[in-house]
Amino acid sequence: MHIPEYFEFFNKSKISSGKKALENIPFDLRSMNATKPLVVTDALSVKQGFVKVLKTSFNDSGMVIGAVYDGVNSYPSTSEVRELASLYRDRGCDSIIALGGSAPASVAKGLNILVSNKSNNLMEYADMSKSAELRPFILVPTSDASGTEASNEAMLDARIYRSHDLMPDIIVIDPRMMGKNDVHQTVNAGLLGIVQAIESCNISVSNVINDSFAFASISLIGEKINSTAACKCKKKERAALINGVTISGIVYSNAPEGLARAIGFEAEKMTGNPAGICAGIVLAYLLDYKLSSIKSGVRGELFLPLAGIDKYCSIPEEDRPEAGVDALFKLLDNLDRQIPRNLKEMNIPEYMINKIAAAAEERTGTLFPKGTALKVLQNAYHGKKSAEVR
């Protein structure tokens, strides 16, 4: 493994995962001198009984939950965060628990900025270097999580707030929070996690610690995504998947955004299709394009977490990049009942790929040669590998 002369890795979050992990929250809050959390969640978490389970986990703690706000929308706004800040102050809360997926997590992060700085204007903290120290923040991802919850970003009113300070202090993954979720959402989260993990370690300057986290994420998701997609009832399987998805958010926070991820979120913004599924399909064709046309940019180590140590060792070193790409295509093929084979089957008009490509290239800057996004999107749209296009 190549170790660069200099690299950085940051992870603010402690992860508590497993049976009755929720019961550790009161102890963890006290260790941060907090005793009255405000819970930020959505209607889905109430409907699936997650809020009730969280409340029950506090029963023997002697600690009081200050308030539960369950009105988070799919696309949270700064006005919602301001209203929630008033509730936080009125109830005398001193910490925050986000329960659910990306929307509650983003709202909780925005709330933390406002209450920590005694402000009602998030725009003042677009540059988080001006922020005061944030309040204790615990994330409890559910089966609705997508991996962005654990990252250093919050998305509010289509504006991204980014700082390592926004990462949760503690992430609590409990199998009881894995309800009978929509299989489509599970696959979307798994693919977004794989995209974030692979792209974070498939860059020219490797980061050995980030690589180890990324490989763990890819292994967990690759091993569990098919079984969780096949059955809605396996809570332990989904908890393992969410572990991998959560780790991908930490990994993503330590690397530049990849092109496939950028394309996925721009496609979601313009067409409404899930970002993870779009990005997952695109990633396979992006790596294929790098392998076939650029002749570089695919690390052979990618094959290890996707296929396992035995298959990895049986393939000659020079053949591992291609084997890794083939393994990714095979993973997508095994999900053919849950995802389309290409972007065309997602009912995306072909003229839209030019707009998506332009937006993705603007989003990723100069990380990729101009025109790469469009060429990759054309291949992904028609489901053709680079060798078939020639």
User: In this structure, is residue 7 part of a structural domain?
Assistant: no
Same domain, 74 and 150: yes
Give the pLDDT of residue 181.
62
Same domain, 258 and 281: yes
User: In this structure, is residue 189 part of a structural domain?
Assistant: yes
User: In this structure, is residue 211 part of a structural domain?
Assistant: yes
- Model pLDDT for residues 233-260, shown as the tens digit of each residue: 678 888 999 999 999 999 999 999 999 9
Cβ neighbours for 136, distance < 8 A, ≥ 6 positions apart: 29, 32, 33, 34, 37, 94, 95, 96, 169
User: In this structure, is residue 2 part of a structural domain?
Assistant: no
203: domain CATH number is: 1.20.1090.10
- The DSSP string of 33-81 is T---EEEE--HHHHHTTHHHHHHHTTTTTT----EEE----SS--HHHH
Q: Distance between CA atoms of 359 and 373, rounded to whole angstroms?
A: 9
Give the pLDDT of residue 205.
67
Given a cut of 70, whether residue 359 has pLDDT beyond it is yes
Which residues are bridge partners to 153 per DSSP? 162
User: In this structure, is residue 5 part of a structural domain?
Assistant: no
Same domain, 66 and 97: yes
Same domain, 167 and 225: no
Helices (H) and strands (E) counted in the chain, each on its own, are 16, 8
- Model pLDDT for residues 10-33, shown as the tens digit of each residue: 999 999 999 999 999 999 999 999
Same domain, 23 and 115: yes
Given a cut of 90, whether residue 81 has pLDDT beyond it is yes
Give the pLDDT of residue 186.
87
Boundary-marking domain end, from 153, 177, 201: 177
72 torsion bin: left (phi>0), alpha (psi -120 to 50), beta (else) = beta
Q: What is the pTM of this model?
A: 0.93
Boundary-marking domain end, from 138, 155, 177: 177
- The DSSP string of 241-287 is HHHHHHHHHHHHTTSPPPHHHHHHHHHHHHH---HHHHHHHHHHHHH
Count of domains for the chain: 2
Q: How many CB atoms lie within 10 A of CB 345?
A: 12
Boundary-marking domain end, from 150, 177, 204: 177
- For the residues 94-113, what does the mean pLDDT come to? 97
Same domain, 163 and 310: no
User: In this structure, is residue 353 part of a structural domain?
Assistant: yes
Q: Distance between CA atoms of 104 and 97, rounded to whole angstroms?
A: 9
Same domain, 60 and 192: no
135: domain CATH number is: 3.40.50.1970
- For the residues 76-91, what does the mean pLDDT come to? 95
Same domain, 38 and 85: yes
Q: Which two tokens stand for residue 153?
A: 């970003």
Same domain, 24 and 101: yes
Same domain, 256 and 365: yes
Given a cut of 70, whether residue 284 has pLDDT beyond it is yes
Q: Distance between CA atoms of 66 and 80, rounded to whole angstroms?
A: 18
Given a cut of 60, whether residue 390 has pLDDT beyond it is no
Same domain, 29 and 136: yes
Same domain, 108 and 210: no
User: In this structure, is residue 190 part of a structural domain?
Assistant: yes
Give the pLDDT of residue 147.
84
- Model pLDDT for residues 180-223, shown as the tens digit of each residue: 767 888 899 999 999 999 999 877 667 889 999 999 999 999 99
- Model pLDDT for residues 327-341, shown as the tens digit of each residue: 999 999 999 888 999
- Model pLDDT for residues 33-60, shown as the tens digit of each residue: 999 999 999 999 999 999 999 999 999 8
Domain of residue 240 covers 183-389
Given a cut of 80, whether residue 231 has pLDDT beyond it is no
Give the pLDDT of residue 389.
62
User: In this structure, is residue 218 part of a structural domain?
Assistant: yes
Q: Are 36 and 92 in contact (CB under 8 A)?
A: yes
Percent pLDDT > 90 in the chain is: 72
